Amino acid sequence: MTTHAPAPVLAERYLLSPDMIADPYGHLDALREQAPVHWSPLHHAWLVTGYEQVMSCLRDPAVSADRVRPLMDAVPQGAREDAERAFGILSRWMVFNDPPQHRRLRRVFQEAFAARAVARYRTFTEKATRAVLARKAVPGSTGDLMAGVAKPLPALVFARWLGIPPTDGPSFWYWNTRVADLVLGTAQEESEYRASLQALVSLEDYLGALVARRRAEPGDDLISQVLREGRVGDSVGEEEFVGMLTQMAFAGGETTSNLIANTVLALLTRPDQLAAVRAEPELAQGAVEETLRLDGPSKMSIRTAARDVDLDSRTLRAGDRIFLVTAAANRDPARFPDPGRFDVRRSGATHLGFGFGAHFCIGAALARLVAVAVVRTLVCDHPGLTLADPGGLAWQPSLLNRGLTALPVHY
C-alpha cells in the first residue's frame, strides 16, 4: 500500500461533514491556493484543486476513469451477494471506461447527442415547462421548487427522449433515484445498498425489454435512432448497449434537476443578476453557465492513477485515488477574473462544469436545453418569485454532487 507524508497545508477537513456539505468553497479555495495537488490522509486520495492541474489529469491517459472496483468495495459485506450483476452493468457505463473502449462506446450515441439532434426537443421542452409551471407555480402560492419543478421537468423531457411510455414513468424514476444513491455515494445502510443494486438490475431488465420493443416498433426517440444507425450488433453488443442506456437514464435527470435549482437559487440571492435576466431573457443561458462554474451540480470526479503520474512536483503512485475537484478549479483566479462573482455576462475561459476532453458530458447539450428553458420561463414569467426560507436550505450529503434537498419559494 502506498503511503504519503502530508504536505504542510490546511488542517484536514472531512468533505462529507455537515459544514463542508453546506459550503465547501472557502476550504477548497484555501486548499487550491496553498497546495493545488494535495495528498489527503483523511480521504486516502489526492485532492487536485487547481484548474491547470485538473486539466492536466483530464488529458493524461495514465489517470483512469475506471472506478467500478472502489464502488463495489464500498458495498457492505452482507449485500455483496446482490452486487455481481449490478457491477457488471456499471462496468459497461462509458463514464467508467478509458480509451479506446470509452471511445468505442461513446461513438454509438454521438449523433443522437449532437446539438442539432437535441434541438428537436426544444418545442416539447418549452411546452412541458409551461404545463408544469401552470400546475405547480401558481402566482401567489408557495411550494418546493425542487420537488414541483426542478425534478419533474427533466424527468418528462428525458423520458420522452428515451421513449419511456408515461405509464412506466413512476417505476422508471424510482429505479433511477435508487441507482443515484449507489453511484453518488449517498447509500449508507445495507438495506439501502440492496435496494440500489436491485434497482440497477431492474432498470437494465426494463430497458432491455424496451430495446426489443423498439426493434419491432421503432419510434421517434433515442433508442430507435441508435438502432436505425445500425451500430448495435456491429460496433457494440446488445448487452453493452442496454448497459449504457442505464447510464443515460441515470445521468440526465439528477444532474439537470440540480442545475435548475442551483441556478434559480443563484439568481434569487443576487437581485442585480436576476434583474439582468428579466430584462434580457437570453441571459438565462449565461446564468446556467455561471452556475455550472460557480455552484454546479457536480463537485468533483474520481479517478485512479493507472501508473505513476508526476503532477506539480508531486508523484501520484499507481493505484492512488485522485479527486478532480472541479468545484475548486472553476474558481481558480489564475483562470477566471474575480472568480467568486456570479456574472451572467461572463465570457472567456471555459469552465469544467461538464468535464473536458474524452469524458466531456455527452448529454451537455440536452441538459443545457432543459435548464435554460426552465430558468428563463420561471424567472421571466413569475415576477413574484422569491425564496420562502433563505436560512433553512439544506444540501444532499454527497461527495460528488451538489444538490438541494428542497427549495421552498413564493411564486
What are the structural domains, with CATH classification, of the chain? 72-297+356-410 (1.10.630.10)
Q: How many CA atoms lie within 13 A of 391 on its CB side?
A: 0
**Residues 351-355, mean pLDDT to the nearest whole number:** 96
Strands (E), 345-400: 386-387
| Of the ranges 102-111, 243-252, 339-348, the best mean pLDDT one | 339-348
For residue 59, give the C-alpha cell.
488529458
**Residues 196-222, mean pLDDT to the nearest whole number:** 95
327 vs 299: CA distance, rounded Å: 5
Would you state the pLDDT for residue 171? 93
Would you state the pLDDT for residue 62? 96
Contact 45, 67 (CB under 8 A): no
Give the pLDDT confidence of 115-165 residue by residue, as tens digits. 888 999 999 999 999 999 999 999 999 999 999 999 999 989 999 999 999
Contact 37, 54 (CB under 8 A): no
pLDDT of residue 70 exceeding 80: no
Q: What is the DSSP string of 273-297?
A: HHHHHHHSGGGHHHHHHHHHHHS-S
Q: pTM of the prediction?
A: 0.91
**Residues 44-72, mean pLDDT to the nearest whole number:** 92
| Lowest-pLDDT choice from 72-81, 245-254, 386-395 | 72-81
Other CB atoms within a 10 A radius of the CB of residue 103 amount to 13
Where is pLDDT greater, at 111 or 252? Answer: 111
Strand 321-324 with 45-48, pairing: parallel
Give the pLDDT confidence of 259-274 residue by residue, as tens digits. 999 999 999 999 999 9
Would you state the pLDDT for residue 254? 85
Burial of 73 (C-beta count, 10 Å sphere; 0-12/13-18/19+) = exposed
Q: Which residue has the cell 442545475?
A: 259
409 vs 400: CA distance, rounded Å: 26
pLDDT of residue 13 exceeding 60: yes
Backbone torsions φ then ψ of 136, nearest 5 degrees:
-105, -15
Contact 113, 362 (CB under 8 A): yes
Would you state the pLDDT for residue 43? 96
**C-alpha angle with apex 297: 351 to 375, nearest 5 degrees?**
90
Give the pLDDT confidence of 281-312 residue by residue, as tens digits. 999 999 999 999 999 999 999 999 999 999 99
Would you state the pLDDT for residue 2? 55
pLDDT of residue 5 exceeding 60: no
Give the rounded percent of residues in the chain with a pLDDT score beyond 90.
77
Would you state the pLDDT for residue 112? 87
Contact 76, 193 (CB under 8 A): yes
Contact 197, 82 (CB under 8 A): yes
Give the closest residue to 327 by CA, choosing from 47, 59, 41, 65.
Answer: 47
Contact 53, 312 (CB under 8 A): yes
| Of the ranges 85-94, 213-222, 278-287, the best mean pLDDT one | 278-287
